[in-house]
Amino acid sequence: MKYHHLPQALFVKNRAKFVAQMKGKSLAVFNSNDMYPIGADATFPFEQQRDLFYLTGVDQEESVLVLFPGAVNPKHREILFVRETNAHIAVWEGPKLDKDQATAVSGIETVYWTHQFESVFADLMSEADTVYFNTNEHYRQAVETETREERFIKKVKKQYPAHTVAKSFPILNEIRGVKEPEEIDLIAHACGITEKGFRRVLGFVQPGVWEYEIEAEFLHEFVRNRSKGFAYTPIIASGYAANILHYIENNKQCEAGELLLMDVAAEYANYSSDMTRTIPVSGKFSERQRQVYDAVLRVKNEATELLRPGILWAEHHKEVGKIMTAELLELGLLDKADVQGQSEDRPAYKKYFMHGTCHHLGLNTHDYGALKTPIKANMVFTVEPGIYIPEEGFGVRLEDNVVVQEQGAPKNLMKSIPIEAEEIEELMNKRTV
C-alpha cells in the first residue's frame, strides 16, 4: 500500500464497539471483497470491503474476520484469516501478510490461514446460536453482482438452518457514522492531498485545455502524495456540462468565458475526501457568474452553520432549501408566484438545486451513518449546495467536508482550500503556464 502504517489501536476500538452490541452466544463474520474480472486474464485493482477494513485494517484479498465474544476458547473470540503465501505468490504478486504482520496491523492475536476457515468455523458454529451476516443495506446501494459475502451467506444458511440470523449493518451504520479521532485525521489528510491537486490545477486551467488534461493534473498530484488516486470517478465539467450532475466523460475543451465545475477529490488509506470547486476558465468571473457563485457560497456557509448535534438530516436539508429559495429569488431565477405555487413534495428551488445538501463521508464517499436519528458530534459530512442554470449555460457547486462538533459550528477540514472568488481569481492569474 502507498499509505503510511495506520494505528492498530483504531481497529481495536472499532471491534470493541461492534462486539458491545452483539447478542449473547453469537458470532459475526466479515469477508473481503472479490477480485473482479475485466476479461481474459485481467482484473480490476483490488478494493477491500470497507467493513472488514474498518474492523481490522487488513487491505488484502481472501481475508476473513470472525468475532465471537462468547467463544469457549478465549483465543477464538477474535480470529483473523489471511491468505497463506508461498514462493510462487511472492515472485508474481509480491509478499502477503504473514501471521505476525497480520497481528501487527489488526491487533488480533489469533491468525489462521484462509484455507483453515471451514474447519474452524464449523467448530465455532457448534457453540453459537446466532450468526451475524454482513449484508449491504446502505440507502444508496445498487449492487447487481453477487459478492463473496453473499455467496458465503447462502452457503451458511444452507449448512446451518437451525441457527438464528442477525444483521451486522444496523450496528455498523451507527458506529461507522461517528468517527474516531484517528479517522478524522485520515479524512483530513485526504483533504490535504486534494488541496495540493486543486492548487496545481488553478495554475493550469486556461482557455484551450481539455477536461481530461485537468483530470490528469489532479491524478498526478494525488498519486505523488501517497494516494491511490481519486476517491470517486471525477467530474470535470466545463460550460453547459456542469448542469449534468454526474458528468464523467471529461472529454471537452474548455473555452474562454466558461465556468469549470470540478467535483474531484483524493482518497488516503481508503478514506475519502469529497470536494467541489467552480472556477472561471479565463481566470475572471463575469458579473452574472459572480452573482450566482456568491449566492452558492452563502448557502454553503449558512448550511454549514446549521449542521449541529440534535438536528435531523432531512430537517437540515429543508432549512437549507429555505435559504436557497431566498437566493434564487434574489437572482431572479424564481419569483413570488413560483414560491406560492410550490408544494412540500416539489419545492420551487428544486428546479435549480435538485440534489441533497449533505451526506456522510468516511471509508465510503457516501459513507455509512444514521440518517433518521439526530446528528451526533464527530460525524463527518459534506456540505454541497449548487445552482444549475441550463438556460444560461453554466452551473455552480461548492463542497467542503466538515466535522460536527459538540458545541458550535462544524470544523471545516477544507478550510485552507481556496473558495472565495477573489482568491480563486488571484491564484489563477498568477499562473505561469
One of 34, 399, 400, 425 is an active-site residue; which one? 399
Strands 130-133 vs 26-31: parallel, antiparallel or unpaired: parallel
Q: Which of 310, 370, 410, 31 is nearest to 175 (CA)?
A: 370
One of 274, 367, 400, 425 is an active-site residue; which one? 274
CA distance 64 to 29: 7
| Terminal C-alpha separation, the chain | 33
Asked if 316 is an active-site residue, the reply is no
Q: Which residues contact 310 (CB under 8 A, 6 or more apart)?
A: 374, 375
One of 200, 226, 308, 366 is an active-site residue; which one? 366
One of 4, 246, 287, 344 is an active-site residue; which one? 246
One of 54, 132, 247, 388 is an active-site residue; which one? 388
Asked if 397 is an active-site residue, the reply is yes
Structure-block grid coordinates of residue 138: 446502505
One of 77, 83, 189, 397 is an active-site residue; which one? 397
User: Concatenated DSSP letters for 259-314?
Assistant: EEEEE--BEETTEE---EEEEETTSS--HHHHHHHHHHHHHHHHHHHH--TT--HH
One of 359, 360, 367, 400 is an active-site residue; which one? 359
Phi, psi (degrees; rounded to nearest 5) at 10? -60, -45
| Grid cell 479517522 in the structure block, residue | 183
Q: Which residues contact 222 (CB under 8 A, 6 or more apart)?
A: 193, 194, 196, 197, 229, 230, 266
Q: Which residues contact 58 (CB under 8 A, 6 or more apart)?
A: 32, 48, 52, 65, 80, 82, 97, 102, 105, 106
Asked if 388 is an active-site residue, the reply is yes
One of 41, 100, 287, 391 is an active-site residue; which one? 41
Q: Which residues contact 344 (CB under 8 A, 6 or more apart)?
A: none
Cβ pair 54, 42 in contact under 8 A: no
Asked if 232 is an active-site residue, the reply is no
Q: Which of 267, 184, 182, 280 is nearest to 229 (CA)?
A: 267
Q: Which of 110, 111, 115, 106 is nearest to 59 (CA)?
A: 106
Helices 287-306 and 313-330, packing angle to 10 deg: 150
CA distance 214 to 235: 10
One of 61, 263, 267, 367 is an active-site residue; which one? 263
CA distance 350 to 331: 15
CA distance 229 to 376: 30
One of 211, 267, 384, 400 is an active-site residue; which one? 384
* Amino acid found at 10: L
What are the C-alpha distances in Å from 295 to residues 135, 299, 325, 333, 342?
41, 6, 11, 12, 21
Asked if 41 is an active-site residue, the reply is yes
Which residues are marked as active site? 41, 246, 263, 274, 355, 359, 366, 384, 388, 397, 399
